[in-house]
Structure 1
């Protein structure tokens, strides 16, 4: 099986599963190394195949059916790690919301759906010599997180909690 055929099979496997498939499992099914799977996933993403990476494996992006707002807090230097935590758990970051003492609720769209989006966001912040919006509120802010299931949102909550970002409402 050549690379193109293997990637077609990889997409087929992901289409026919409801739970994440790990790189190890995919490598066994396709009789290649895990690194080949990682490379194939990158090539498929470059070809606009929307593949999610979760802490349990890979999934084809499904229509968003669940949303949840999380209250979080972190230092300025941790915004990238916070976003990676959400993305790696399978969530998509729709926006950021802060409660300003004078202006009230302020919301800005983020639309962070991948690690590549995080890199672009960070570059934009640096080139604009900007600081994260949450700096106005000493790091306290909210994110609306999108996912294809409530279970993924539970995974996001657990990951945020284990990294010390999640606050109780």
Structure 2
């Protein structure tokens, strides 16, 4: 029985690493590629699409549906659903939050708080040492949480622009 449980757990880990379930749950996400990188934009993500049918236009909204020939996007301005042919798309912009400030704040807060408790604590008796083993990681986690909260105040938004065609990004799947 233990062999089967171990095999099942390893199989689930392998499927998780391959994004197996994510692919089958929503196979119609927008996928861009430029030979070295592949970017996947999920349905429901807010993006900006620049396209040209007879006039050059720009639409900001959430992806509703992606097919092999067109993309449907719900505009933020008037809540209408626009249908854009994939061949007409000239560029796609997507915003990301840069979370490095939050991660650095968590790291510094955890190290400082845990180190302070470990240095200042009186670990002379075995019971105090045992209590220190329990309290120090808890305080380090508390310090990391506060550090992440303070570090998140500096998080900035980065806009990434994908230019479609001309040997740049190509729409691979939809």
TM-score, reference length from structure 2: 0.27
TM-score, reference length from structure 1: 0.27
Which protein shows a greater Rg?
Answer: 2
**Structure with higher strand content:** 2
